[in-house]
Amino acid sequence: MLIKLFLIFLLTAVIVHFLFRETPERKPERAKKIKPPKVMQKLKMRGVVIEPTEYTKDYSLAYYDVQEKDTDYAYLNQQGYQGGGYSWEGILYGAIKITDPQLLERVELDPEADGIMINAQTRKDIEKVSYLIDRVKADKKFMLKAIHHANLDGKME
């Protein structure tokens, strides 16, 4: 009986020791780098970049979805949108608002019936929009999210 009490006491002491012992502070683990989805790893530039000339001070990007092999014109039209440049103005507005809201202040979206001209002071901003167009084209969920944001702000046609 005495041995049983001693064993119970010993076991309790060991459990209490492990529960309430002081441990040295651990160093925070390094955050693992998250690879972007494969859809994002293979983005390409869309549209035609136009360099500034003696008559223009800004860079421009001309994008005409209706001329693309993977055009979304019919899809957008079926959803009740114009399908051309005015729809892409809304889509790009929403996509930029989601990914880089400050970029909205640095670019000008100028829609036309079939396409859209994007103007900015730097080539870097134009390239961001160009890659963003490809992201929208490659990821329909992202496109729908961009359309949703554009609709909320009354920018989608």
**CA separation for the pair 16, 6 (Å, rounded):** 15
77 is a domain residue? yes
13 is a domain residue? no
Retrieve residue 75's tokens.
């899809």
Retrieve residue 30's tokens.
């390094």
96 is a domain residue? yes
29 is a domain residue? no
CB 72 within 8 Å of CB 80: no
For the stretch 94-149, pLDDT in tens is 999 999 999 999 999 999 999 999 999 999 999 999 999 999 999 999 999 999 99
Give the global pTM: 0.73
Tell which phi-psi region holds residue 131, choosing left (phi > 0), alpha (psi between -120 and 50) or beta.
alpha
> What's the domain count of the chain?
1
2 is a domain residue? no
11 is a domain residue? no
**Domain of residue 132, residue span:** 45-152
91 is a domain residue? yes
For the stretch 54-92, pLDDT in tens is 888 999 999 999 999 999 999 999 999 999 999 999 999
CB 36 within 8 Å of CB 138: no
Angle at CA 65, nearest 5°, toward 98 and 94?
15
37 is a domain residue? no
